[in-house]
Amino acid sequence: MMDFAYWLPIIWAVILVAAISIYVVLDGFDLGIGMLFALERHPDRRDVMVNTIAPVWDGNETWMVLGGAVLYGVFPGAYATLLPAFYLPIVLMLLALIFRGVAFEFRVMTRGTGREGMWNAGFMAGSAIAAFCQGTILGGVVQGIKVVDGAFAGGPLDWLTPFSILCGLSVMCGYALLGATWLIWRTTGVLEASCRRWAARLAVGLFIGIVAVSLWTPLLHAPYLRRWTDWPNIAFVAPVPVLVVVLGRLFVMGLRRGHSKGPFLCALGWFFLCLSGLGITVWPYAVPPGLTLWDVSSPPSSQFFQLIGTAILLPIILTYTIYSYHVFRGKVTETDGYH
Amino acid sequence: MQYAHDPALLLARFQFAFTVGVHIIFPAFSIGLAAYLAVLEGLWLKTGRPVFLDLYRYWIKVFSIVFGMGVVSGLVMSYEFGTNWSIFSKKAGPITGVLLSYEVMTAFFLEAGFLGVMLFGMNKVGRKLHFAATCCVSVGTLISMTWILSSNSWMQTPRGYTIDPVTGRFMPADWLAIIFNPSFPFRLVHMGLAAFLSVAFIVGATGAWHMLKARKAGKFSSEPVRVMFSMAMWMAAIVAPLQILAGDAHGLNTLKYQPAKIAAMEGDWVSEDHAPELLFGIPNMKTEHTDYAVKLPLAGSLILTHSLNGKVPGMKDFPRDQRPPSPVIFFSFRIMVALGMLMMLVGLWSLWLRRNSTLFTNPVFHRVALCMAPAGFLALLCGWITTEVGRQPWTVYGLLRTSDSVSPVALSSMAFSMTAFVVVYVLVFGSGLGILVRMLGRAPQEGEHDTPPSLATEILAARMHPGVIDPSTGKGA
């Protein structure tokens, strides 16, 4: 039983990080598309942008619900501490996601009534605010929250610091990059060309963000610094920054040579590395700097029961998710059949 | 412990009631409508009659809007347990959180994964596979309801747990006992029927509206309108009586496991056998008396226990601090029952008209059916108020108090979020309602369009070939 109690939270941490990563990547590009509305004014091309995500956005958002549910069921201690700590950005994010989620449908349903502009703005602002909030929450978790007796004991604005704002802006930039590279892959003509231009600039922005966050993070807490600089850790973690640079190089080449999938995959790679870097930094804390995974986890019986279901269901979910992406594969053009 | 009148606690409760009250409409709508769509597409594949495809295409546009609103309002719910009810989440999360995760994995992904194919994939995957996608979405909505009601029922009638003496957490001991807790089957059936009934009355009212409009224009209503009206009235005639039976069985179950809720619903203060039924009254929690009571002798015992001398509990059986607030649920329960009876009468009336072949020609009946449009949803909301307020003052019945469940969050934060939710919900879901009403205000056509009117194809086609635009609607003809 002792072993179960030790290993189950680790297995769950891996699953949770995987779910969050899948969410960040999938909803990342569709939030990014919302933000790119600010750059693309032409209504037909805006429709094409939305058409590339219309059949899949519900599924993308479901990963976020899964993240919340897993946290609630498997790490209730973390769920009950983090959510009150990030009360305001979470509420703001949820409200932003409401606007964005319905704007998909409403903007076209209200076409010609004068309200379309409002829903376009809602789609854009909702996407931007949701992305910013997600980044600040992530930054806020990394910088740590005040916990007394296993419960949040700080103030309502503790999360709002220069560091978390930097993280928020970086995530906005990163999501927009994912959106632009997704569109390079999925569209043609004028839109694709614009996206290549935007992607180049956004990549520079994200790269600066990554460097700044990476340099700042180890200064937040002494254990973070040791994680990255102590021998032998350094041998394992050194590839992370190296790979960031390598991917950057590949990205530039892919963009210049007109590859369609390459830039998107490089952007995904960057996100993967950033999330891994964060994971390496905060491990084994679920609520830095005080509560570890084991402090916040459910009884093993809960974790085990849920693990059985997850082991069976997650592969099935991935299969039909891939199938549904497969059905709607290929470039979307202005004369395409779905919205 | 916070006190029952603590403003942060009241705000947290009000916020939950508000957000869940808005949310519940959409999944109930999706459950009923997805099943209806699966039936329509199945009938179309089987009979080949184009009217079923027309109706499918008409209602799927409504479905896409309703589903989208359900997703975003549900997203709020999955985080609100943590933001506003963190102590509850921490203590009951090992049980309710796991059930919620199963809901996400077995239902949400299934719905979301196949929704895209259902909405946009008819020309991409073929008829059979498309029908399979519709069925997956419909089954997904039912699975989702199953888990969420299991979780809710466990909070009402908890079983299969132990309580950790140190942390006070609920530890799962027997998952089958947790999932199949005593009130779960009753709640599941009652809610499922409520969802079907609610959608039947929306579909019926839409049909009635278009028949009235056609009549005014001196025309006979089109085939799709008549078919959907007829299907909706069959549903009402069959399901409304079943629902009354299910509600009665649920009542017996509640009497057994939550007698304080029954006492508060009935406005009874002293427990008695040969109890009367209070048709009207105003329960007063302070004086422990129901004022202006209008009583029907013996009916209380008969309805609640199915015997004339059955013992019916009174609220004085329970300590003051364990009594649910009677006035709210006394009325919500009566409104629900009255609406249920009305729905059954409409169903029976439709059978009578069918016998006389006047179902499509009786304007009085059509007006009544139109007025009944929100009846199902109103009854459903009143039912939820009855069962949820009736659970007070507990979140986990008899074990964890609502006042001990709330998050340690600043009052100002609660007040901000409450205001923001109300403003945003009114704006967003109000607009959604407006869009739905506008959509339903357009009658289903023979040869209904494949894609929602929102679809870029249609708009682009209209832009490219302005000749085919219907100038009155601005849409492609």
Per-residue pLDDT of chain A (339 residues; tens, 9 = 90+): 458 888 899 999 989 888 888 999 898 998 999 999 889 888 888 888 888 888 888 888 888 888 888 889 899 888 888 988 999 999 999 999 999 988 888 888 888 777 888 899 999 999 999 999 999 999 999 888 888 887 888 888 888 999 999 999 999 999 999 999 999 998 888 888 898 999 999 999 999 999 999 888 888 888 888 877 887 778 777 888 889 899 999 999 888 888 888 899 999 999 988 888 888 888 888 888 888 888 888 888 899 999 999 999 999 999 988 888 888 887 887 665 444
Residues of A in contact with B116 (CB under 8 A): 54-56, 58-59, 324, 327-328
- pLDDT at site B451: 52
- Which one-letter DSSP state was computed for residue B258? -
The kind and range of the H/E element at A158 are none
Cβ distance of B83 and A77 shorter than 8 Å: no
| Structural domain includes residue A59 | yes
CA distance B45 to B125: 15
3-class DSSP state for residue A152? strand
Residues of B in contact with A82 (CB under 8 A): 82
| Structural domain includes residue A337 | no
Instruction: For residue A22, give Cα distances in angstroms to A154, A314, B121.
Output: 31, 12, 24
Could you tell me the two tokens for A281?
């930094």
CA distance B189 to B195: 10
Cβ distance of A98 and B76 shorter than 8 Å: yes
Q: Where are the alpha helices (DSSP H) in A75-188?
A: 76-85, 87-109, 116-143, 162-186
Instruction: For residue B150, give Cα distances in angstroms to B79, B104, B174.
Output: 19, 14, 14
Range of the domain at A107: 4-328
Which of A87, A97, A335 has the CB atom closest to B460's CB atom? Answer: A335
Range of the domain at B109: 19-181+409-456
The winner for highest mean pLDDT among A229-233, B177-181, B274-278, B403-407 is B177-181
If contacts are CB pairs under 8 Å, which of residues 157-176 in chain B contact chain A?
Answer: 164, 169, 171-173, 175
Assess whether pLDDT exceeds 90 at residue B135: yes
Rounded to a whole number, what is the largest CA-CA distance in chain A?
64
Cβ distance of B98 and A73 shorter than 8 Å: yes
| Structural domain includes residue B46 | yes
Cβ distance of B412 and A156 shorter than 8 Å: yes
- pLDDT at site A284: 84
A53 close to A267: Cβ distance less than 8 angstroms: no
CA distance B19 to B414: 13
| Structural domain includes residue B104 | yes
**Is B396 touching A (CB cutoff 8 A)?**
no
Pairing label, strands B277-284, B469-470:
unpaired
Interface test with B, best of A74, A94, A120 (most B CBs within 10 A): A94
Assess whether pLDDT exceeds 70 at residue B459: no
| Structural domain includes residue B438 | yes
| CA-based nearest residue to B147, from B186, B120, B118, B180 | B180
Closest A-chain CA to B176: A305
CA distance B443 to B211: 9
CA dihedral B257, B260, B261, B263 (to 10 degrees): 120
Residues of B in contact with A84 (CB under 8 A): 82-83, 86, 407-409
| Structural domain includes residue A141 | yes
Place of tokens 């891939």: A322
- φ and ψ at A238, to 5 degrees? -55, -35
Pairing label, strands A151-152, A291-292:
unpaired
Closest B-chain CA to A64: B75
Interface test with B, best of A51, A109, A158 (most B CBs within 10 A): A109
| Structural domain includes residue B240 | no
Residue range B95-104, pLDDT digits in tens:
999 999 999 9
Determine the average pLDDT of the residues in B300-320: 84
Which of B102, B112, B453 has the CB atom closest to A109's CB atom? Answer: B453
Could you tell me the two tokens for A312?
């069976």
A83 close to B82: Cβ distance less than 8 angstroms: yes
| CA-based nearest residue to B443, from B182, B214, B161, B107 | B214
The phi-psi region of residue B94 (left if phi > 0; otherwise alpha if psi is between -120 and 50; otherwise beta) is alpha
3-class DSSP state for residue B408? coil
| Structural domain includes residue A246 | yes
Could you tell me the two tokens for A163?
């560091």
Triad A320, A315, B149: Cα angle to 5°: 80
B76 close to A280: Cβ distance less than 8 angstroms: no
Determine the average pLDDT of the residues in B456-472: 39
CA distance A198 to A180: 7
Assess whether pLDDT exceeds 60 at residue B477: no
Assess whether pLDDT exceeds 60 at residue B218: yes
| Structural domain includes residue A334 | no
pLDDT level of residue B463 (50, 70, 90 thresholds): very low
- pLDDT at site A265: 92
Determine the average pLDDT of the residues in B442-460: 59
Q: Where are the alpha helices (DSSP H) in B157-222?
A: 175-179, 184-216
Cβ distance of A72 and B175 shorter than 8 Å: no
| Structural domain includes residue A220 | yes
| Structural domain includes residue B367 | no
B55 close to B228: Cβ distance less than 8 angstroms: yes
Structural domain total, chain B: 1
| Structural domain includes residue A339 | no
| CA-based nearest residue to B75, from A138, A97, A22 | A97
A140 close to A85: Cβ distance less than 8 angstroms: yes
Could you tell me the two tokens for B345?
């009468």
Residue A147 distance to chain B (closest CA, Å): 12
| Structural domain includes residue A178 | yes
Please report the ipTM that was assigned to this predicted complex: 0.88
HSE at residue B268, side-chain half, CA atoms within 13 A, is 29
Cβ distance of A61 and B121 shorter than 8 Å: no
pLDDT level of residue B21 (50, 70, 90 thresholds): very high
The alpha-carbon radius of gyration of chain A (Å, integer) is 20
Closest A-chain CA to B79: A68
Cβ distance of A74 and B72 shorter than 8 Å: no
CA distance B27 to A324: 22
| CA-based nearest residue to B44, from B222, B186, B231 | B231
| Structural domain includes residue B475 | no
- The mean of the pLDDT values for chain B is 87
3-class DSSP state for residue A86? coil
CA distance A133 to A153: 21
Which of A61, A87, A334 has the CB atom closest to B413's CB atom? Answer: A87
Q: Is the preceding omega at residue A289 within 30 degrees of 0, hence cis?
A: yes
Residue B184 distance to chain A (closest CA, Å): 20
CA distance B3 to B5: 5
Exposure pattern of A179-189 as b/e (b: 16+ CB <10 Å)?
A: bbbbbbbbbee
Cβ distance of B69 and A102 shorter than 8 Å: yes
- SS3 for B114-171 is HHHHHHHCHHHHCHHHHHHHHHHHHHHHHHHHHHHHHHHHHHHCCCCEEECCCCCCEE
- pLDDT at site A115: 82
**Is B456 touching A (CB cutoff 8 A)?**
yes
**Is B12 touching A (CB cutoff 8 A)?**
no
CA distance B226 to A37: 43
Assess whether pLDDT exceeds 90 at residue B182: yes
Which of B91, B109, B431 has the CB atom closest to A317's CB atom? Answer: B109
- pLDDT at site A335: 61
Interface test with A, best of B22, B79, B85, B146 (most A CBs within 10 A): B79
Q: What sign does the dihedral B82-B88-B89-B90 (CA atoms) show?
A: positive
| CA-based nearest residue to B269, from B314, B324, B323 | B314
Cβ distance of B454 and A105 shorter than 8 Å: yes
A324 close to B113: Cβ distance less than 8 angstroms: yes
| Structural domain includes residue B161 | yes
Residue A223 distance to chain B (closest CA, Å): 28
Pairing label, strands A285-287, A291-292:
antiparallel
